[in-house]
Amino acid sequence: MTVRPSVPTSVQASLPARAQLSARPLFILCAIAASLCASALGQTTLDRGIIATAAPLTDAQKAAVSTFAASALDAIRDGTDATEMVDARWTLVTPARDPAATAPFRKGYSAILITELTPVIKGKDLQRAVNAMQVIRFTRTSESVDVLIERSNSASENDPGKRLAAASLLADSFEDLDASNAFLETAARRIRDAASTEPDWIALQQKLAAISTAAKRKELPPDNARNIRKAQAEAIAAVAKSIKSNTTADERMQALQRALIGVRNDLLLLQQADRTAAAKTLAPAMGDLLTASSTHWEAGHNNATLAPSYAAVVNSCEVMLRLIDRSERPQAYVGAKADADTRVLATAWEASDKAKFDAEVKRWNAIVSASPYK
């Protein structure tokens, strides 16, 4: 039996409008999680020689693959039974997840699936689009990632549900993607651009997580990892600048709350040269987030949903600025107290002491606006 976590229609109908909206991304994430964690169901009827081929698919093999996939593709495109649609998804995913599947097979299989499923992915039916994106993700090809990146960008996809699904699949895709290191860099920069303009905080969180996953690929050369981390820092900086321009509390702080914890932990592990490279982008971004927190002071404290995120971002910004600045300007800390004894921002925020908070924000903005950050 296929497990399909969902929020039942009858339950959604009984929820207030705001709760129904929050149920939608929850359903999308649960459905994707189930597809990523469950074992492949069913048996492929494809010839083992096709799945294990060491060479590009021949025309005859492509025809066999198309015949195999035809009914499952029809179910995803036009089927009216949800169970059949999910079973069709697993029929299509199974060959790509077969332990014997080779890169040449997955590449040829991906080309067929992308051609057939792209209209579904671009269509208006969210459930069909999510199923189709899940199918192509498992081919592990750069071409499938190209499709997901396009769907994750608000410039080419106006459905936030599809952007969330695509971004979530991207975060998973980089763990086993068959692609060159140069492609990973390009993909990270494209996701950076998509993240910079993403209004939905959950989709933004997934995009930032995707870039982070790409940077942590095993055996990734240091130069490539450094360039991908640069894209991540630039995405955070762009979002920080956008949040700073708003006059009231911004939901995207919820995404940055999670992302900054990861970046903070990564900074602790970086070599000095890599930390210096990240500092020039991250330090001014932290200044922008602190300025935004001051501007959004009342809403940032009083909004029950966002207040914890604002407090967490303020704390992360202070910790990261201390970490970065002690590394970049060690002479300024000669004779200073231990870091924990000199932190001001988090305690001022918690105490609602805006004057003290603003004075410290002004001090930090003066630091990050000068050398070595500018």
CA distance 2 to 165: 20
- Residue 38 pLDDT > 50, yes or no? no
For residue 327, CA distances in Å to 230, 283, 359 come to 18, 12, 23
Mean pLDDT of 60-78: 97
3-state SS of the chain: helix, strand, coil percent to 5? 75, 0, 25
- Residue 292 pLDDT > 50, yes or no? yes
What pLDDT score does 11 carry?
Answer: 31
Q: What is the pLDDT of residues 345-373, one digit of tens each?
A: 999 999 999 999 999 999 999 999 999 99
Give residues with Cβ within 8 angstroms of 188, minimum separation 6: 211, 214, 215, 227, 228, 231, 232
CA distance 52 to 47: 9
What pLDDT score does 281 carry?
Answer: 97
- Residue 2 pLDDT > 60, yes or no? no
Q: What is the pLDDT of residues 336-352, one digit of tens each?
A: 776 555 789 999 999 99
Q: State percent of the chain over pLDDT 70.
A: 87
Mean pLDDT of 62-66: 97
Mean pLDDT of 299-304: 96
In the three-class reduction of DSSP (H, G, I as helix; E, B as strand; rest coil), residue 220 is classed as coil
Q: CB-based burial of residue 304 (10 Å sphere; 0-12 exposed, 13-18 middle, 19+ buried)? A: exposed
What pLDDT score does 262 carry?
Answer: 95
What pLDDT score does 89 carry?
Answer: 96
What pLDDT score does 100 carry?
Answer: 96
Rg for the chain, CA atoms, rounded: 23
Average pLDDT, the chain: 89
Query: Which one has a higher pLDDT value, 199 or 340?
Result: 199
What pLDDT score does 343 carry?
Answer: 82
Q: What is the pLDDT of residues 274-289, one digit of tens each?
A: 999 999 999 999 999 9
With cut-offs at 50, 70 and 90, classify the pLDDT of residue 333: confident
Q: What is the pLDDT of residues 96-150, one digit of tens each?
A: 999 999 999 999 999 999 999 999 999 999 999 999 999 999 999 999 999 999 9
38: phi > 0 → left, psi -120 to 50 → alpha, else beta; which? beta
What pLDDT score does 295 carry?
Answer: 98
Mean pLDDT of 183-201: 97
Nearest CA to 75 among 92, 98, 62? 92
With cut-offs at 50, 70 and 90, classify the pLDDT of residue 13: very low
Are the beta carbons of 223 and 280 closer than 8 angstroms?
A: no
What pLDDT score does 9 carry?
Answer: 37
Q: What is the pLDDT of residues 235-273, one digit of tens each?
A: 999 999 999 999 999 999 999 999 999 999 999 999 999
